[in-house]
Structure 1
C-alpha cells in the first residue's frame, strides 16, 4: 500500500500528469547515482538523477506472496557514470536500487514504488542490462551459520578478533608489475614468509581502483618481489605504482588457528563434530569408554 502526499494525489487526479521514473542506485561504499527516463535532470532525495545515461526500465510486477518480483533496467555504458570496469570488478555488488515515480515539474511530489538489489548484469561493449531483484529475494537465501569442521569467520574480522596490523600480519607496498589479469608483482615494505599471503586479501589504497579488495589465491616470491595470484581477474583500474595493503590468509582449520595464530578460543567452526566413520564404529575392548572427553584443546 503506497501512501501519496496530498499534492501528488491531487496531481494524479487532475487528469493531466507530468510524471517520470527515477532510479537511485546506492553502492555499499556509500556512493550514489541517480538516473531518470525524463529528458532533463531531476533532483530527488538530494541526488541529481541524470537523463544522459539512456536508462530505460521494463514493467515490474508486485505480487502478494513471497516470490521475488524482478524488473530490468537497461542503459548505455558511460565512462563518467557506470563503467564496464566498475561493474566487472564488483563495485556494484550488493548495491540497492530505489524506483521512484516523480512529478518532474515538482520533484517534491514523489512516491517510492519499490526497493531492491542489483542482480544479474549482462553487458556488451556499448550497453548493459541490469536486473533489479526485490527485497523478498532475501527469503530465498540461506541464513545462519553452517555446522561444519572449518571456521566460517574471515581472518582479522570481528568474529575472528585478530588484529592483523598489531600482530604484523599485514603488509603495505606497491604494484611493480602486472603479468596478467590475475597475477600481480608487489614490492612490500616488509616481506612476509613465502606462501603466507595465500587465502589472504589485497586492498588497493590508491589509484583508480582505490578501495577495491581482492582475494588472494596463491603467493610466491622472486627475490625481493612478492607474486600474488588473485581468485578473480582484474579487468582494469590497477596500474603500476598503485599502493596496496595485503594480509595473511588462513585455511580455516582448527590446527592452523591453534598453531599458527594461537587463536583457538575464537575458532568459529566445529572441529570435533562426529563424522560418518564415527557413527558407524562399534565399541572395542581396547578403547577407553568411560565417558571422558575424546579431545582436549
Structure 2
C-alpha cells in the first residue's frame, strides 16, 4: 500500500473505489471500475457503469490458493456474451486495485491472478478469480516416455512453425459447425500433413481463436480438415485461416518430417510395459546382449 493511500485511509473519511484490469490472451486490455466516473491507471481507461463487482477477497500468506469471484453484467460495450462463449476470457489475467478516486495514483494492488470457470446466466456472468498460487496445484516435471514430451514450436522443441512448407495460409471455403473445414485443394501439402496440428482463425468474427486438428484427409470432394473441438465463434467463407503442420511425437516423424531430431525430447528405445512381464521362450533365445539389438540370427 502506498504511503499516500495509507494516510488517506487513516483520515477516517475516504474516497476509495475498486479498479479491475483484465488482459485477455489475445493481448486486449480492458479496464473496469465500481466508481461512477471513468478513471485512467497505468495507461488503461477503467470504465464506470460496467456492472463488474467482486466478492470479498480471501487471501493468505502461505501457499493456499486465493479464493474470490467476479460478478458482472453482459453488455455490448464491455464484456459480451459472444466473447465469453468464444472463450476469449478463459485464463485472462486480472489485477484488482483499491484506489483513491480523487487521486488514482494513490492505490494498492489487492489481487493478481486469472479468471477461472465462467458461468453465464440471465444476461450476467460469474467467474472464479484464481490467485498466483493456483499453478502450484498442478503437477510439474517431465515423464520418461517413448514419445516426445515437448510441444511443437515451444522452447524445448525449437522448431519454427512459420517455416515455409509447414504453415498454410488459406481462406475458408466450406465450414460445418465450426469444426469441419473443406477445401477444393491445398496444393503443396501431402494428405495428413496437418493432422495433430493447429488451425488458427486470422480474420472475421472468430479472429484469434484456434483449435487442434483431429484429421486431415484427401477425399473425392477435396481436402477435409476436422478439428477436435469446434471454433466457438462464427467462421464464414472467406475468413483467413492459418493451418500449422502436426506432429505425432514419434522419433521418425521428428527426424524425417521436421529434421529436428537433435531436439527430440523422448526416449524411443525405452522398453515398454510388456517387457516387464517377458519370460523365456524357445524361439527367442536370451543372448545376454543389448536390449536394443536383435538376437543373433534373427531379423
TM, length-normalised to structure 2? 0.87
Contact 1:170 1:246 in 2 (8 A): yes
**CA deviations over 1:150-172 (Å, ceiling 9, x no partner):** 21223344433334444512212
Q: How far did residue 58 of structure 1 move? A: 0.7
In structure 1, stretches of 5+ residues that fail to align are none
Q: In 2, Cα distance between the equivalents of 1:67 and 1:249?
A: 38
Following superposition, the deviation at residue 186 of structure 1 comes to 3.7
Q: CA deviation at 1:125?
A: 5.3
Q: 1:102-157 CA deviation, whole Å, 9 max, x = no partner?
A: 11111111100121111111113511111111111121111122222221223344
Equivalent residue number for residue 195 of structure 1: 192
* Alignment counterpart, residue 254 of structure 1, candidates 251, 256, 261: 251
User: Paired residue for 2:229, among 232, 256, 274?
Assistant: 232
Q: CA RMSD in A?
A: 2.4
1:27 equivalent in structure 2: 24
> Higher mean Cα deviation, 176-185 or 45-54?
176-185
Aligned residue in 1 for 2:82: 85
1:103 equivalent to 2:97? Answer no
C-alpha displacement of 1:98: 0.7
Q: CA deviation at 1:100?
A: 0.5
Helix, strand or coil at the partner of 1:85 = helix
The 5 A counterparts of 1:53-202 are: 53-124=50-121, 126-186=123-183, 190-202=187-199
Name 2:202's counterpart in structure 1. Answer: 205
SS of structure 2 residue aligned to 1:43: strand
Map of 2:3 onto structure 1: 6
| In 2, Cα distance between equivalents of 1:108 and 1:98 | 15
Partner of 1:286: 285
Which shows bigger deviation, 244-253 or 221-230? 221-230
Stretch of structure 1 that moved more, 144-153 or 78-87:
78-87
Distance 1:294 1:99 in 2: 61
C-alpha separation in 2, matches of 1:124 and 1:228:
34
Q: CA deviation at 1:270?
A: 1.9
1-side partners of 2:219 and 2:80: how far apart? Answer: 35
1:215-264: CA deviation from partner (whole Å, max 9, x where unpaired): 11122334574322222222324222111111221221223334444433
Aligned to 2:297: none
The 10-residue stretch of structure 1 (148-157 or 257-266) with the greater mean CA deviation from structure 2: 257-266
The question of whether the paired residues in 2 share the 8 Å contact of 1:174 and 1:187 is answered with no
TM-score by length of 1: 0.88
In structure 1, C-alpha distance between the alignment counterparts of 2:185 and 2:253, rounded to whole Å: 24
1:91/1:288 CA distance change after superposition, 3 Å? farther
Separation of aligned partners in 2, 1:153 and 1:88: 30
Residue by residue over 1:15-44, the C-alpha shift from the partner in whole angstroms, topping out at 9 and shown as x without a partner, is 111111111111233221111112221111
CA contact (8 A) 1:85 1:237 kept: no
Distance 1:244 1:291, change over 3 A: closer
Asked if 2 retains the 8 angstrom alpha-carbon contact of 1:173 and 1:188, the reply is: no
Distance 1:169 1:237 in 2: 26
User: Hey, what's the Cα distance between the residues in 2 that align with 1:294 and 1:200?
Assistant: 34
